[in-house]
Amino acid sequence: MRVFLAPRAGSCGLRAAAIPRYSAPPQFIRHTHKRNNTNSARLITKDDSLLFPPSTTLPPPLVLPATKTKDDSTIVHYFKIGKGYLSFYKTGLKAVYTNFKASRPIQDRADKEGGSTLTGLVEQDKITRAEFQTIMRARHDNRRIPIFALLFVVCGEFTPFVVVLFSDIVPYTCRIPSQILEDRQQVERRRHNSLKNSPPTPSTSDTPQTLTRNQLLHISSSLGLHSRKWHSLLPATPFTPPTPLIRHKIKKHLEYVNLDDTLLEKLGGVDAIAKHATASAVAGSKVEAVNSEDAREREAWRRRQELEMIASDRAIDTLDRSEDEILKDLKRWFSLRSENVLKAFWK
């Protein structure tokens, strides 16, 4: 059997793992550092329960027949493949509902204690990064459920052949490994192409509101915020989204990343990521979880995915790169926060 593994909660019904609320329990190692001329405490957690959301926020395993056996006809073989995809999508859709339920208490807390915003909870230290990512990923997937569910009902086991053309409508928990890889390859290609002819680097005082259109397009391309289909509609012309739309998307993304950065720094920043989001944190395991049902290798795969998602949100390449190389770029990102993080998009 060919197995594409991603961690999941339980083999039957999916249950959301308990997401602990933020506090400063004794199992933390305390460090002090200076930021913006003020003393603050940085905590490096000994486990990842406050750092990473439940494994249900990632795609489930995709189990397909490795090769066609002598006893199977072509029809039977493809039927087994279709059955594997069908099971994968059903589990992924269940995970969306599981994550939705897990996010409701967090949203209720935001409504009561955070002024109906996650920003309020972050500023008051009333939310963990695991909770923050749980609700953000749940929101991302919930918005895609209506169209994807309709597509799934109509196409059934043929869904994989259709969704590759419309990746953005697919909830993340329902994205097959090759689809995730292809999406990242396309974003990194666009990022590299944009860097070849990038506009001037922003100044320290620049904000998304003061950036030129070319600077906005460069950042948007680096993050994959606007679809490449804008360029394919009229290939003979520089057909791109309206400037206000690009500016708005960049502003919203930077607001999200800023909250995520804040929560990461409270738990130890890059040091915490290096400790928990790398395969080396799982002794004797491999990053590749393909063709293995070893629990340690599943965990190593999950941690690598979390590292890549952290990096991708900050326009950092992950493909064919070691963990040390990714962590080095993440250190640069956090070092630029005190100056102007917009400069991180120019390398």
Say which residues have a Cβ less than 8 Å from residue 312's Cβ, sequence separation at least 6: 184, 187, 318
pLDDT score, position 175: 92
pLDDT score, position 241: 84
Q: Is 114 helix (H, G, I), strand (E, B) or coil?
A: coil
Residue 80 exposed, middle or buried by CB count within 10 Å (0-12, 13-18, 19+):
middle
User: Cα separation of 323 and 281, whole Å?
Assistant: 11
User: Cα separation of 63 and 61, whole Å?
Assistant: 6
Across residues 211-229, what is the average pLDDT? 90
pLDDT in tens, 143-157: 999 999 898 888 877
DSSP 8-state assignment for residue 340: -
Q: Which of 83-97, 223-237, 247-261 has the lowest mean pLDDT?
A: 223-237
Helix 129-142, helix 74-113: angle, nearest 10: 120
Question: pTM for this one?
Answer: 0.82
pLDDT score, position 24: 37
Percent of the chain with pLDDT over 90: 54
pLDDT in tens, 130-142: 999 999 999 999 9
pLDDT score, position 279: 59
User: Cα separation of 226 and 219, whole Å?
Assistant: 10
User: Cα separation of 266 and 261, whole Å?
Assistant: 9
Residue type, position 72, single letter:
D
Alpha helices in the chain (DSSP H): 74-113, 118-123, 129-142, 145-155, 159-163, 177-196, 213-223, 229-233, 243-266, 270-276, 295-312, 323-336
User: Cα separation of 243 and 173, whole Å?
Assistant: 31
User: Cα separation of 112 and 121, whole Å?
Assistant: 10
Query: How is 187-238 classified by DSSP, letter by letter?
Result: HHHHHHHHHHT--PPPPTT--TTT--HHHHHHHHHHHT-S-THHHHHSTTTT
pLDDT in tens, 154-197: 887 788 888 877 888 999 999 998 889 999 999 999 999 999 98
In this prediction, residue 232 has a pLDDT band, given cuts at 50, 70 and 90, of low
Question: How many CA atoms lie less than 13 Å away from 223 in the CB half-sphere?
Answer: 22
In this prediction, residue 281 has a pLDDT band, given cuts at 50, 70 and 90, of low
pLDDT score, position 174: 93
Across residues 94-117, what is the average pLDDT? 95
